[in-house]
Structure 1
Amino acid sequence: MEAVIGAFDLTKVYSSKGAGGKAAALKSINLQVPEGRAVACVGPESSGKTTLIKLLSGLIRPTAGECSVLGLSPGYETARLHGRMGTVLYSAKLYADLSLWENLLFFAGVHGVGKDAAVERASFLLRRLNLWEERDQSPAVLPTGMFKRASLARALMHRPRVLLMDSQGAGMDLETAGLVQEVLEYARKEEGATVLMCTQDMGFAQNVAQSFGLLHKGTLMARGDLESLRIGGGVRLRASLRLKEGDKAPEGFLRQPDGSWQKEVQSQEEMPKYIMQTVSEGSSLYEAKLLRPGLGEIYQAYLSGGRRREAAVYAGESTSAPAGTGEK
């Protein structure tokens, strides 16, 4: 599948009062996003998320390396690119002196969308994002969740082939997160959009994206789908059993605060063995399930592994780099 977003040894260094006058926000990032996919780069504050989106949208230029979107260079072919791309930035603004409806029609016009098509598109997006009743209000009076939905509607008015999103998930209520997820899935599956989002909300990212990049202090620790990242990070699956009070689980299972019994396993093929063992030992089994780690737990595993390697190097020990993870 062809990659429509690419970063190749992408580096951005800012001037700084400390650290010798320079601070690297991104360090030799390599990332490809296939057409029609949704990829999320996740990490805490100051991990390079906003810088990555700004580089890909042409708002800033790289210090070294290069990037491309739809075969165009964002820093040098910005005007051509913006006609095919939508951006949702944390700092994005809608005009307070215009209603939400007027804002959407205005931005549609900027991208050359005809009036009739703009009216149809604005109606569709406002209804899908549950903002129809607020269409005559100023964006300035909208609550945070509604404003985020309005910003997404603005970015999708011209049916972009690529959608770049920064700091998504932060400040979203449950309704907003669900509606945004539905609209992004529609844009990707029905309109062929490719999505790259950067966020520190691991749960939201896991619900929306198929592949992930793990950012930390400007470096890409790993990238791939959830399963390849789990394996690469050495994070185990867990078997969970819920038994009658007073009954014992098989050897190796540990009692959890929620009353369940859990044990790390290599694969789901081990589950029947533990179920049969539990029953054969006379315990009453109410529930048995396989627990898969979430993106947040996997991220922490990579982070902890990196810190252990740094400590080993500092202590003068020999250590090998972790195996990379592939993107499926």
Structure 2
Amino acid sequence: MNWEVAHRAASIAAVQAHRDLGVDRSGYVEVYAALRTAGVVGLARPMERLFGIYCSPRDDGPAVLLNAKLDIIAQRHTAAHELGHHRLRHGTAYDEELDRTARWGDGSWPDEEKLAEAFAAWFLMPLPAVQAALGRLGVTRPLRPEHAYQVARWLGTSYAGTVNHLHRLQLLSREEKTSWLKVKPATIKETLAGGPVDGRAHVHLIGSTADGATVRVDAGDLIVLEGSGAYFETLPSCLSPVDSPNGQLFWGEAAPAVAEVTDVLTGMAEVTARLPGAAVVEFIVARQSPRAGRQDLWPI
């Protein structure tokens, strides 16, 4: 089976899964809630050189085991991959190597792994959700790599995975895909934040279309207000203002207002910002930490 066939089959399976599991296709896909609705037991614990395991009903499942050491994005993708195994009625599957090309030699994947991997992309990035994310950027198709990165933030997906999927959705040309994949996410984050960004932290750019939205974040992420002169009107204690060179809460006109998410945030918090043109934007930040332990303890 080639990848084109795998994606064609997986796209159909993902739509059926969205329908059967009551998934909202217009925005951020709650993959852990979908696992629970599917009756799949979820466990997560720190493991070496392992993405996850799917245990089929024939082996006392269905259940998934996820690596608690993975970051949010990788763990979400792995959860969707394992859900794909379940929905496609595969047998027990072990993702034993973090470098799958090392496990499968030249990078060719077994058919069931291709299908599960393709399912994860279509499950987490349905077309209506992608279109809604692009709408928040004020475009109908991505025009530069920063747009792909911002779509990934709204959908909780990786930059590379999002670029590849945008191409599958015919929203990027092959040439654009090839070029954009060469751009490092760290470079994009620096551009959006106006300076260096630590490690795995993500940057969430907030414009006027974010009014009423929920922004999924983790500790260390940066919330950046779009436009010169923007500032936070109300900033909850879980967000720490990133000082300007003058040590002030509000940046000067040459740089955006920035706040860092701290560990104080354990659930949700409301934020109010004022953007250029006197536009007031109210949005919610919601903590989405990597899962650990048993699924019945995981926040949805």
* TM-score for the superposition, normalised by structure 2: 0.24
Which one has the bigger strand percentage? 1
Q: Say which one has the larger Rg.
A: 1
* TM-score for the superposition, normalised by structure 1: 0.23
